[in-house]
Each structure stands twice: as structure tokens, then as C-alpha cells.
């Protein structure tokens, strides 16, 4: 599955983590395509980290029951991420990471970035 074990039931329909974050209103587009009340955690491998407006993006693969899923994670703007401590080299291809996202409500393999925990324990954003 795409998610760490303890959060698996969440994707199966139960509520996951409460998301205390304020809605990032006034963005490049509406955030209503994401379920901002739910947070899921992906054990992922970075395929591409794109540092570009209007939104930085992480493409990542996730092992799910013997299959590889590809996820697309939308972030905020590079200038906002800079204020959180991100740089354009914070992630590199092949990095093993945990990515916390508000999932797409459509059920497609995408989400809105909440936080990242890198293999060395480095944390960016919100990961709890």
C-alpha cells in the first residue's frame, strides 16, 4: 500500500489524521480538490523534485503490495517553501522519504504537500 501501516485504514475509508493546518487560500488555484481534513503518509522514493512556480512538485514512487504506484505531490511556491527551509536541492532523485499529504478527493494518486521526513531524520514542513 502507499501508506505506512499504521495509517493504512485511513485510505480504506476511516478518518486519518486531523489536519490542523489552515487552508492555503488564495493560491494559484482552489484547494478544494484535496481533502484538507485528512493526512496520509507515503513511504516513497523520489523520482523528480521540480522547483518551479506556480507550484513545486514531487513525483515519487510508492511500493504497494508488490506493485509500484507513482504519486504526484503538489507543494506551495518555491518562495514560500524557502521560508520553511527548503532549497531546490532539498530532495534528489532516489531519496527515500516519508511524505505527508492531504490526498486528492478523487482518489487519484496525488496530494497536497504537508511535510517530508528524510531518511536521515531531517524534517521539513509538518509531519505529525
Partner 1 sequence: MRRLGLGRFAVLAALSLAAGGAAQAQMGPITSEPAQGLASPEQSAGFPKGRYHELDQLPDWGGIWFLNRRDPAAGPMPQPPLTGEYRERWERWRQQVLANDGVELRSRSNCSPPGLPRIMQLAQYPYEFLFTPGRVTINQEAWMQTRTIWTDGRGHPSLDEFTPSFHGHSIGHWEGQTLVVDTIGISDALEVGEGGKHSDQFRLVERIYLSPDDPDVLINDMVMTDPVAFSGPYAVSVSYRRDRHGVLIEFQCAENDRNPINENGETLYL
Site map (CB under 8 A) of partner 1, residues 78-117, x = contact: xxx-xx--------------------xxx-x-x-------
Dihedral sign computed on CA atoms, order 29, 13, 20, 103: negative
Counting contacts by CB under 8 A, is residue 33 touching partner 1?
Answer: yes
Our CB check for partner 1 shows the closer of 54 and 85 to be 54
Which residues contact partner 1 (rule: CB under 8 A)?
22, 24-30, 32-33, 50, 52-55, 57, 72, 74, 76-80, 82-83, 104-106, 108, 110
Amino acid at each position: 500500500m502507499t501508506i505506512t501501516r499504521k495509517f493504512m485504514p485511513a485510505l480504506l475509508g476511516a478518518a486519518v489524521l486531523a489536519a490542523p493546518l489552515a487552508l492555503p487560500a488564495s493560491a494559484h488555484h482552489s484547494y478544494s480538490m484535496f481533502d484538507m481534513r485528512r493526512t496520509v503518509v507515503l513511504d516513497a522514493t523520489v523520482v523528480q523534485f521540480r522547483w518551479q512556480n506556480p507550484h513545486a512538485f514531487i513525483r515519487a514512487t510508492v511500493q504497494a503490495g508488490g506493485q509500484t504506484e507513482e504519486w504526484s505531490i503538489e507543494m506551495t511556491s518555491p518562495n514560500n517553501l524557502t521560508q520553511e527551509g527548503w532549497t531546490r536541492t532539498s530532495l534528489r532523485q532516489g531519496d527515500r522519504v516519508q511524505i505527508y499529504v492531504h490526498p486528492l478527493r478523487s482518489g487519484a494518486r496525488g496530494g497536497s504537500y504537508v511535510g517530508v521526513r528524510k531518511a536521515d531524520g531531517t524534517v521539513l514542513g509538518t509531519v505529525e
